[in-house]
Amino acid sequence: MSSENVIVSNSKRSFNGIIQLTGSKSESNRALILQALSNGNIRIENLSSAADTVTLHRILQSEIHNPGATVDIGPAGTAMRFLTAYSAVKGLDVTLTGTARMKQRPIGMLVDALRVLGADISYTENEGFPPIKTGSNFVQKANRVSIKGNVSSQYITALLLVAPTLPQGLDIYIEGELTSKPYVEMTLTMLEQSGIAHTWTGNTIHIDPQAFKPVTLTVEPDWSAASYWYSIAALSQEAVIELPYLKADSLQGDSRIADIMAHFGIVSTFTGKGLTIRKTDKELTQREFDFKECPDLAQTVVVCCAALGHNATFTGLETLKIKETDRVKALQNELAKIGVTLTEDNETYYLDCSQKHIPEKVSIHTYDDHRMAMAFAPLALVIDEVEIEDHQVVEKSYPHYWDDLKKAGFNVQVQTSDVRC
């Protein structure tokens, strides 16, 4: 089996310029479901070009409305969760499937909640995992569900998005601590922008049956994508990077990267044009990082710490094990190639850089995970050559990543290599 890899290098190791990021995948995917539920009354501007969003858009426009259709979502986890709720409450006779990894990602908690509401859903292969089949008849039988808060906020978001269309409305009781709370808050804010009111009392979110109002939702650029430029700035000798249209009052939880990277000497300045980040000589002193509310930033920060030889402690990584890959294991495997260890002790993770070494070249396996590719590519600022296997994986969230690296002075050479299993 062969795949196109890239060799990334950067002898200049400094950058002063502008990078225009694609629209937020998280905001875009929510906006597309809201648009579909509003029967087209909602317009969207600056929709993300990420593959997951392109896939969701295509499916909502045609495929999911064909009775008896089998809809292949590929590796798009957000789309799987959102479309499961959408097709179930809309009473669509469809089967939702995806990649081999998608069939390993649990969805039973969401399916159980939808069944309580009255949805007809069955598993076509393994209990608790896609593929799933939704039936053509939906009659609401209950207006309250309970769902664990520490597994995936996408289950809660999927239910919130469809809640206004339910004849009896919906109460969602969140059991225990809520992981990735900013993503739930993003969903509720976008619902408010679409004319949907809610109450959040204690652990219960309540939404009455309501109609969407005609509105235009403008998607902010992707803060998850911005995180890689913070890492590039931190690993550069000098850096001043402009990221247009990013906002200080963002809906995106990953905007926390600005606060996190302040500990790495990166100063964030917001202007009327967007965000400028600047490398300073501030000494790195922060030793503990909690990713409970922003788990998608973890790989970026962990790899950045490793590259800088900075021992650190991390918490809030539990959800990383059920993402596109087991991201904790993937990090452990790839960091070992530069002598860095990441060990777990009762949900606390310790990064030990005492045996770190800098080889002339390192090859990074991506595990079909876009964030592995983009988190490790900045290592080219400290290692002469970094080979990233299966470089096209970045299309899932940041299709122009390699082109943007070239704009920043990186040398990116595509080659075909044997993929190691």
Nearest of 50, 146, 90, 109 to residue 394 by alpha carbon? 50
CA dist 414 and 417 (Å) reads 10
C-beta of residue 96 within 8 angstroms of C-beta of residue 131: yes
Active site residue 326: no
C-beta of residue 78 within 8 angstroms of C-beta of residue 65: no
Q: Helices (H) and strands (E) in the chain — how many of each?
A: 12, 22
Nearest of 310, 264, 314 to residue 294 by alpha carbon? 314
Give the tokens for residue 227. 């995180």
Other CB atoms within 10 A of residue 150 CB: 16
Largest CA distance in the chain: 63
CA dist 301 and 316 (Å) reads 13
Helix 51-61 × helix 25-37 angle, to 10°: 10
CA dist 77 and 343 (Å) reads 27
Q: Which of 52, 254, 296, 390 is the catalytic position?
A: 296
Give the tokens for residue 83. 């479309």
CA dist 184 and 190 (Å) reads 10
DSSP 102-162: GGGS--HHHHHHHHHHT--EEESSSTTSS-EEE-S------SEEEEESSS-HHHHHHHHHH
How many CA within 13 A on the CB side of residue 191? 26
Report, as residue numbers or ranges, the catalytic residues: 296
